[in-house]
Structure 1
Amino acid sequence: MTRASVEVQVARGDDGTVRVAGPGVGPDFTRAVLDVAGAVLTWPVLEDPVPPSAEIHDVARAQQWLWAVYGERVAAAVQACATGEFSDVRVPADMTPLAVGAARLGFGHWAARWWPASYLDGIPALQPDVLGLELAALTHECQQLFDDEGDQPDDCVGELIGDHQAALDPLLQWWHATPPSTDTARRLGRVLRAVDDAADSTGSDGEALRRLRWSLAQRRPDGTPVAVDPVALFVRHDDYALAAGEPLVAGGRVIARGAGTNDWRRYPPGFVDAAETAVSWTARALGARRQIEVEVVAHIAAPTTSGPLLVAEVGVDGVRASRVPLARRDDVWSGRGDLDLSAGETRPRIEIGVLLPGFDPGPGPEGGADRDAIRALVRRRLATAAQPIASNTAAYEGSSGPFLAEIAAATTDEDY
């Protein structure tokens, strides 16, 4: 059913790109992004569900989904702008069923990239295989957004199923153990059937998929389901593995200590605990030498390779002069290096940021308030996921309803 209309601006840029402008968006980690046929769609995750913004570089390809996402008035306006009939026009956009599904898919990709898992903040991680399979199901349900051109990295149903098949058997157990009348059971059934359909359409195969197909063809067991803990069904990182990294050695005179900046944009997901206080440092005087020691709380899934991966960028009195390699030791990335201080300086202004060379886009504007808003958002979502909805299935299935990975995370008994 089509929902209430929202006015959007359709405009043609100097480079021929047609833009559909919805609400303004902030830093990278506050935006959900989806690559579709001929365009990129964007949603602000901190606002209520709205029609997406779109940057359309191939209007002919985009026409296959434009009308189904925005309604016929926007599709016609985009075509008119592309042909030069208009350069800028405002028209009503409809919140269509495909728009709702696309927003949910975009948010799922956002969660895979930006979910702020943190022991320090008490925010559990999402189980990647569970999220990956639901993304595969959603991608299959939103196939009208994609075509066969091969330039849409988010149209990856077969790859998602192949990478995350390990969650199929646990999801089936969870489904069979959940009372059929609950919304969780309905969501599980819908996701599992969509994965089966997607696997069939992409030619995906394997023992887990064959067991899924067989199970879906059977009648669900009668009687009262056996209680099951969804968290216990999935493989989780329960302990930090030891990795190379020399423990920092205390000594010398402490000049200063403090907390650094934890900018999520500067390293991939799964490297660093998302808390604002995850980065700390100590500056010491060792005779005539000045040394900086950096410790960064590792994400639960942080890699355990033997060489340094992350580095700490060290700035002294406004000048970014050096980088300190970090290596993982237990649950901490750590490292130390020499500081270049003026003779006799005892209270330098030191700034520390953590990054992955080659991935880092560079320091952005201070985003502490936006990161706090994201933490508040995911806490609200986890609180909702922890309380199964009894009757409002439409709300549960909507773009803001909880993902199965959020429901599992909300029931975790790990020490966060």
Structure 2
Amino acid sequence: MTHPVHAPVLAADGGLIRFALADLLAGRAATMHIELTDAAAAEPWLTRLAGAEATLVALGQGHIELPAQPELGRLALLLWLRRWWPAGPSLGIPSLDPALLDLETAVATADVEGLAEGLLDGFEASPAELFDAAIADDALLAAGPPVAEEVRGLCTRLAAWFDDEDDVVRAETAAEMSARLGTATPGQRAYTLAAGLAPLAPGEGVLASGRASVDWARVPPGILDAGEDTVTWRIVVAATATRLEIVVAGAFADAAITAFASHAGEPFAEVPLELGAGRFSGTAELNETATRLAARVHSGQIAVVVGVAGEGVAGTTAEDRAEVVALVRARPPAARTLAERAAAASADEEF
């Protein structure tokens, strides 16, 4: 089964609408695959979207391939960007501002609701919720100046949509954003790679050490540098105790993250990580059993996982991540979203 990192998907009411990542990132999506999970729920919007004849085919087969609808493809891409965009200074790919993504996704969601009523019933977020998230704590005002005219245009579109929905307060709020953007101070999310582990104290020694990469599927989006080999670890023996030290370089924002060390699939240490200057780091003392293990096995036999370590997580491989990074780097400027254009303008360089 294709990993979600490779397959942008739109969860519709009673169905899943899938696109090829390479096509969406290249701005040339020609087809979309619709898989029905609840035919009765999907039939009304699918009929509006594809017509009665195509809907009968889909109901009989449980799935159908249709020409891609730009509105659906755009929303699927924005949802993918929110989860999987591989930002990192080590990759030369800037972060995308969450407020701008929320604003774009609010507009794209409204467009889809206009395209096929009922398609997004029970969707993960409404245009109102996304707009509220975008303007919370003046985040949109801080992110908007590099692309102020485009932000104003999206706010104007949302104001009209909210007005049609009789959401007077949000309509007025969206209309007010244009004027406020003219006086906003640009904000930019800074990110740097931090130094590795600290020097050892006198009398201490290293039993085992190594590097690891962060699996994108196991950590929240937009928190860590998406490059490879950003995790440094070592097991240090001292006179009083043995400890596991872990540093994850390249932090963009805070989150509750834990690292797990294992041998032959069996975990032997858990290290809560705390945000520092451009990194997450943590230390945990090892018990006697874990210390004996570290003393007798080769460093390469110890695995360190940052984030969720449960078997139920469909993890990404180094090959998965490299493929996505290559596609993002090849993305044509004309296909970029507002958040991408703002990131490029803030960095004052192409990426």
Fold match, TM over 0.5?
yes
Q: Which residue is equivalent to 2:341?
A: 407
Deviation at 1:266, TM superposition (A): 1.0
Cα 1:368–1:50, aligned 2, differ >3 Å: closer, same or farther? farther
Q: Which residue is equivalent to 2:175?
A: 210
Is the 8 Å Cα contact of residues 158 and 204 (structure 1) preserved in structure 2?
no
Q: Counterpart of 1:38 in structure 2: which amino acid?
A: G
Q: Counterpart of 1:330 in structure 2: which amino acid?
A: A
Q: Deviations over 1:39-74 (max 9, x none)?
A: 222223134624333332332332333245455543
Q: Which residue is equivalent to 2:32?
A: 52
Distance 2:99 2:82 in 1: 10
Q: Counterpart of 1:374 in structure 2: which amino acid?
A: V
What SS class does the counterpart of residue 208 from structure 2 fall into?
Answer: strand
Query: Normalising to structure 1: TM-score of the pair?
Result: 0.67
Q: Counterpart of 2:342 in structure 1: which amino acid?
A: A
Deviation at 1:119, TM superposition (A): 2.1
Q: Which residue is equivalent to 1:94?
A: 67
Q: Which residue is equivalent to 2:296?
A: 345
**Range 30-39 or range 58-67, more displaced:** 58-67
Equivalent positions of 1:124-163 (< 5 A) are 124-143=94-113, 144-147=115-118, 151-154=122-125, 156-163=126-133
Are residue 371 (structure 1) and residue 351 (structure 2) matched? no
Equivalent positions of 1:256-405 (< 5 A) are 256-287=208-239, 290-303=242-255, 309-337=256-284, 338=286, 339-342=290-293, 345=296, 347-348=298-299, 349-356=301-308, 362=312, 364=314, 367-381=317-331, 384-385=332-333, 396=334, 401-405=335-339
Is the 8 Å Cα contact of residues 215 and 306 (structure 2) preserved in structure 1?
yes
Deviation at 1:164, TM superposition (A): 1.1
Q: Which residue is equivalent to 2:160?
A: 197
**Range 193-202 or range 113-122, more displaced:** 193-202
Distance 1:174 1:410 in 2: 10
Number of residue pairs matched by the alignment: 327
Are residue 66 (structure 1) and residue 46 (structure 2) matched? yes
Distance 2:143 2:198 in 1: 41
Provide structure 2 residue ranges, at least 5 long, that are not aligned to the other structure: none
Q: Counterpart of 1:264 in structure 2: which amino acid?
A: W
Is the 8 Å Cα contact of residues 43 and 50 (structure 1) preserved in structure 2?
no
Q: Which residue is equivalent to 1:29?
A: 5
Q: Which residue is equivalent to 1:12?
A: none
| Root mean square deviation, CA, Å | 3.5
Cα 1:299–1:201, aligned 2, differ >3 Å: closer, same or farther? farther
Cα 1:316–1:138, aligned 2, differ >3 Å: closer, same or farther? same
Looking at secondary structure, tell me which structure has more helix per residue. Answer: 2
Cα 1:324–1:61, aligned 2, differ >3 Å: closer, same or farther? same
Q: Counterpart of 2:229 in structure 1: which amino acid?
A: T
Q: Counterpart of 1:368 in structure 2: which amino acid?
A: A
Distance 2:294 2:224 in 1: 35
Q: Counterpart of 1:211 in structure 2: which amino acid?
A: E
Equivalent positions of 1:213-224 (< 5 A) are none
What SS class does the counterpart of residue 123 from structure 1 fall into?
Answer: coil
**Range 201-210 or range 133-142, more displaced:** 201-210
Deviation at 1:170, TM superposition (A): 6.9
Q: Counterpart of 2:214 in structure 1: which amino acid?
A: N
Within the candidate set 15, 20, 24, 1:39 is matched to 15
Is the 8 Å Cα contact of residues 126 and 405 (structure 1) preserved in structure 2?
yes
Q: Counterpart of 2:87 in structure 1: which amino acid?
A: A
Distance 2:235 2:73 in 1: 46
Distance 1:256 1:316 in 2: 12
Distance 1:410 1:367 in 2: 28
Query: Normalising to structure 2: TM-score of the pair?
Result: 0.79
Distance 1:135 1:234 in 2: 21
What SS class does the counterpart of residue 55 from structure 2 fall into?
Answer: helix
Distance 1:121 1:331 in 2: 16
Cα 1:204–1:265, aligned 2, differ >3 Å: closer, same or farther? farther
Is the 8 Å Cα contact of residues 13 and 121 (structure 2) preserved in structure 1?
no
Distance 2:42 2:221 in 1: 31
Cα 1:214–1:332, aligned 2, differ >3 Å: closer, same or farther? closer
Q: Which residue is equivalent to 1:19?
A: none
